[in-house]
């Protein structure tokens, strides 16, 4: 248990994850980028002692990339398992990160796995894998920046129980920063206060707001001895905006917090 990745719970999500796993229910996690979705899954996999197969989904991801394909080796064809098939065989957790990025027809291969059948038919080899009880399917996506033509098919969505993540309340986020970087409490408090000021600009001046991950970056720089103002500019301001005037305003917020 020493190697458990750090995770600060902010609700009953750990309990819910365990229940879902025990009852063989697939799970969908949604939330803004950098709020701890991936970390949560890694934490749970370690806690439950399961192997974790992560797939970062992208535009060109095909069903074959998930399930597996024939490769040509020494003039012979050889079947090679994809990450999904491997997770099913091993009885581990298969985690599809940013699942909406994948094309919709790709995610349809998840359907028989994600309902009570829990099977993975592999057309190309004629195999039909039955998932062992310890197998769990977890997908995540960020509802914030959905491409207009993307989004999950309702038939896919309806196969999951869903957990909504958001940035944690101030005290918990401070605890996360302290837990991740062992930064002092005062600096953590100020970082979180900056982040919350930036979050007020969501959908208005900023397309994306400061994530917990970026705060951890800033805290890491500060812990390393970097000047707080410089650390925040590098980790927060310049990461969040390219617009010079917006950047000036964001820097003023940082100065207002850490002093100049």
Partner 1 sequence: MEEYVGELWHKLVTRVADKQHADAAVSLNEISKTAAIYFRALGGDAGLNLSAAPPTRHGARRRWMQRLATSGERVELSWRDGETLRLPERIALFSERGLNRDLYLWLVALSAAKINDDLPWIIRNQTATLTTLERFPGLLPRYQQLVEAMLALRPAPADLPKEEAAQESAIRQALQQPGSIHVLPPSKKPFHPVPLWTHPTPPVSAPSKVSASDGAPERDESDNSNTAKSRRKHAAERTDMPDGKDGFLMLFRAESLFSWTEYIKVNRPQDEEDDLESAAQAAEDMDSMTVARDNETSAAKLRFDLDLPPAGEDDAPLDEGISLPEWDYKKQIMQPDYCRLQELVTQQAGHCELPTQLRRTAKRLRSQFQALAPTRTWLKGQQDGEEIDLDAWVRQEADLLSGTHPDNRGVYRAQVNQQRDLACLLLADLSLSTDAYASDHARVIDVIRDSLFLFSEALSATGDRFAMYGFSSLKRGNVRFNRLKSFDERYDSAARGRIAAIKPGYYTRMGAAIRHATTLLAAQPQRQRLLLLLTDGKPNDVDRYEGRYGIEDTRMALHEARQQGLRPFCVTIDSEANEYLPHLFGTGGFAVIKKPEDLPKELPLLYAQMTR
Interface region with partner 1, contact rule CB under 8 A, candidates 1-9, 46-54, 89-97, 201-209: 201-209
Comparing C-alpha atoms, which of 183, 249, 173 is closest to residue 211? Answer: 173
- Beta partners for 129? 120
- The yes or no reply on residue 206 touching partner 1 (CB under 8 A) is yes
**Window 68 to 87, contacts with partner 1 (CB under 8 A):** 69-70, 72, 75, 77
Residue 186 burial (CB count, 10 A): 9
- The yes or no reply on residue 201 touching partner 1 (CB under 8 A) is yes
Number of alpha carbons in the 13 Å side-chain half-sphere of residue 53? 19
- Binding-residue total with partner 1 (CB under 8 A): 39
Interacting residue with partner 1 among 15, 18, 171, 207 (CB under 8 A): 207
Q: Is 148 helix (H, G, I), strand (E, B) or coil?
A: coil
Q: Which is nearer to partner 1, 50 or 219 (CB)?
A: 219
Interface region with partner 1, contact rule CB under 8 A, candidates 15-23, 108-116, 129-137, 250-258: 250-258
Q: Rounded distance, CA 60 to CA 141, Å?
A: 17
DSSP 31-67: --TTSSHHHHHHHHHHHHT--EEEEE--TT--HHHHH
- The yes or no reply on residue 225 touching partner 1 (CB under 8 A) is no
Comparing C-alpha atoms, which of 175, 178, 209, 179 is closest to residue 194? Answer: 209
Interface region with partner 1, contact rule CB under 8 A, candidates 89-97, 166-174, 191-199, 218-226: 191-199
- Beta partners for 161? 27
Interface region with partner 1, contact rule CB under 8 A, candidates 1-9, 87-95, 156-164, 246-254: 246-254
The counts of H helices and E strands in the chain are 13, 9
- The yes or no reply on residue 62 touching partner 1 (CB under 8 A) is yes
Handedness of CA 185, 191, 194, 200 (dihedral sign): negative
Q: Which residues, at least 6 apart from 159, have a Cβ–Cβ distance to it below 8 Å?
A: 26, 110, 111, 114, 115
Interacting residue with partner 1 among 33, 134, 220, 257 (CB under 8 A): 257
We find the least distance from the C-beta atom of residue 225 to partner 1, in angstroms, to be 19
We find the least distance from the C-beta atom of residue 258 to partner 1, in angstroms, to be 5
Residues that bind partner 1 (CB under 8 A): 62-64, 69-70, 72, 75, 77, 103, 105, 145, 148-149, 151, 190, 193, 197-198, 200-201, 203-207, 245-246, 248-250, 252-260
């Amino acid at each position: 248990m020493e190697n458990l990745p750090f995770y600060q719970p902010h609700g009953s999500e750990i309990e819910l994850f365990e229940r879902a796993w025990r009852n063989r229910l697939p799970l969908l996690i949604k939330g803004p980028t950098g709020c701890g979705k991936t970390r949560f899954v890694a934490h749970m996999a370690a806690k439950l002692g399961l192997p974790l197969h992560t797939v970062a989904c992208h535009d060109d991801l095909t069903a074959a990339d998930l399930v597996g394909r024939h490769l040509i080796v020494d003039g012979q064809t050889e079947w090679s398992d994809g990450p999904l098939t491997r997770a099913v065989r091993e009885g581990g957790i298969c985690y599809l990160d940013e699942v909406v990025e994948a094309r919709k027809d790709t995610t349809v291969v998840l359907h028989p796995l994600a309902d009570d059948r829990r099977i993975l038919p592999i057309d190309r080899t004629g195999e039909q894998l039955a998932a062992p009880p310890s197998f769990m399917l977890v997908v995540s996506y960020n509802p914030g920046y959905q491409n207009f033509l993307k989004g999950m098919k309702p038939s896919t969505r309806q196969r999951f129980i869903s957990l909504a993540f958001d940035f944690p309340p101030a005290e918990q986020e401070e605890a996360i920063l302290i837990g991740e970087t062992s930064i002092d409490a005062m600096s953590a408090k100020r970082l979180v206060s900056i982040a919350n000021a930036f979050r007020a600009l969501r959908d208005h001046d900023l397309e994306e707001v400061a994530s917990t991950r970026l705060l951890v970056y800033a805290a890491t720089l500060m812990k390393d001895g970097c000047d707080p103002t410089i650390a925040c500019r590098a980790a927060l301001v310049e990461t969040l905006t390219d617009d010079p005037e917006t950047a000036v305003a964001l820097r003023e917020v940082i100065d207002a917090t850490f002093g100049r």
